[in-house]
Amino acid sequence: MDRVPGMPRHRRTWAGALAAVLAASVLSLAGAGQAAAADVNNAKNAGFESGLTGWTCSAGSGATVSSPVHGGASALKATPAGQDNARCSQSVAVKPNSRYTLSTWVQGGYAYLGASGTGTTDVSTWTPDSSSWKQLTTSFTTGANTTSVTVYTHGWYGQAAYFADDLSVFGPDGGGTGGDPDPVVPATPAGLNVASTTSSSVSLAWNPVAGASGYNVYRGGTKVAAVTGTSATVTGLAASTSYSFQVTATNTAGESARSATVTGTTKASSGNGGNLPKHAVTGYWQNFNNGAAVQKISDVPSQYDIIAVSFADATPTPGAVTFNLDSAGLNGYTVDQFKADVKAKQAAGKKVIISIGGELGRVAVNDAASAANFANSVHSLMQTYGFDGVDIDLENGLNATYMTQALRSLSSKAGPSLIITMAPQTIDMQSTSNSYFQTALNIKDILTVVNMQYYNSGSMLGCDGKVYSQGSVDFLTALACIQLENGLAPSQVGLGVPASTRGAGSGYVSPSIVNNALDCLARGTNCGSFKPSRTYPDLRGAMTWSTNWDATAGNAWSNAVGPHVHALP
């Protein structure tokens, strides 16, 4: 969050540039279809079982490895270095005037898949870093005189190595004696079991099936998820409720029969905020004067359900934080008045939490000792000031392992009524392999809400693989979809936006756009060009920076968005 009005906060400079550079090249996969039954895989050594035979990798960047692999015994590992992006390619024989589906499985760093020399429109697609196997797919049509195309994978400069496996170029036989046989429908998965449950989710696991490229999960006979691995978490469930599940295996040849049915029962509600309303509005309250209206806690409008006091300060002890009320900057607001106002808000059913971080905050929790210091110091602030919980707004990086440890330790001290919110930047929630996203998933059984900051970011990828520009309803909905479809419960997702044009360097959207995005996600109405495949009526709500900038603009944001949030289904 910004302390200085109108100035963008520090952020990773490559993230926005990367998204902007790639915006023109990222293609929609909507047109990529399944291969016909008579099609063959025209690629040679498509699973890298014969080393790099048939493949050429730039600057010696490629090698075969035995782990991780998607299928068979080997996979490609390619490592970008310096000005080399680790491009590995092969020439594939094709027929003229024919349509082909290009696909591969990738893991690790940023990974790209493409075809050139098609004689028509060359194609490519990509994905951010991924901790598990993910399928990239696109398609192309050859020209009237095209008899070969170059297919390739590559990574991105300065990023981690990527892995690729089981590449396919399905289409008419080009006469090049491709290396893989036609696929057959996989067998029915066995071993389906309930691995764990929360009050709103059931986690499933099953045995792998040979030849499967993915799996479909069914709840009560309705498909609710499609995954590439042998586990899935079904979210958005009611507490203390039994659900039945089945799973099938899929590949390009089709879908298997459904597995035996298992039943999972969600736990009773764990609290996650006590009497917090189903749909809530979060506002950050500034403990400093940066030109916005100076407020007392008592001045914050009643539309705000969670008030995040900004910010705690780091201490010389690693991981530890403290809070110092800026009485001088807040026109003589005293600690006793502050504490009394916190109690009054709580008596009115509101939650007041302490926010850690912000634009300038640097709190390092990167080992067991600093994790313990963090938990102990935050709990001490809760006892001293009456805070209901903590907000994590660390914009300079966090360690998922030790932040998870710290928050679980805090939860054990504070109990089930603890509020935990997060305010990551957009880049932090682009992939489940990012530390912020990992932390949220690690603590989803005690997490209240993630209010990602949909501003100061530039263009970003949506869940459909397309690039969207900030400041639009599509930016809000397509990026929220990433969290909603990758493990967080709808009740744990909120839309974080500036309260006015002065509240952020860029990305302001009018309250009407925020309300349209809420309607699109919760009701399936008022969408832009992007429309989610399903609705999320349990969506938590919205957040703004800040209550002070809202007051400066006559509380226009909370007066418009607050009632709309509280009226969601």
Q: What residues act catalytically?
A: 395
> Phi first, then psi: what are they for 468, rounded to 5°?
-120, 145
> Phi first, then psi: what are they for 514, rounded to 5°?
-60, -45
Q: Which residue type is seen at 229?
A: G
Which candidate, 460, 378, 392, 396, places its Cα nearest to that of 423?
392
Q: What is the helix, strand, coil percentage profile of the chain, to 5?
A: 20, 30, 50
Residue reference for tokens 């110092």 = 324
Distance CA 238, CA 220 (A): 14
405 contacts 368 by C-beta, under 8 angstroms: yes
Contacts of 538 (CB under 8 A, 6+ apart): 236, 278, 489, 490, 491
Distance CA 407, CA 403 (A): 6
Structure tokens at 334: 């005293």
Which candidate, 317, 387, 295, 315, places its Cα nearest to that of 346?
387
Distance CA 370, CA 402 (A): 8
* Strand pairing report for 467-468 and 460-461: antiparallel
Distance CA 104, CA 92 (A): 15
Rg, C-alpha atoms of the chain: 25
Q: Where are the alpha helices (DSSP H) in 302-429?
A: 335-347, 368-385, 400-414
> Phi first, then psi: what are they for 522, rounded to 5°?
-85, -30
Distance CA 18, CA 23 (A): 9
179, with CB counted inside 10 A (0-12, 13-18, 19+), is middle
Distance CA 102, CA 109 (A): 20
Residue reference for tokens 């590949």 = 251
Contacts of 402 (CB under 8 A, 6+ apart): 365, 366, 367, 368, 370, 371
CA angle, corner 102, sides to 100 and 108, nearest 5?
180
Residue reference for tokens 């036989």 = 173
The string over 180-193, giving b where at least 16 C-beta atoms fall within 10 Å of a residue's C-beta and e elsewhere, is: beebebbebbeebe
**HSE-up of 414 (CA within 13 Å, CB side)?**
31
427 contacts 455 by C-beta, under 8 angstroms: no
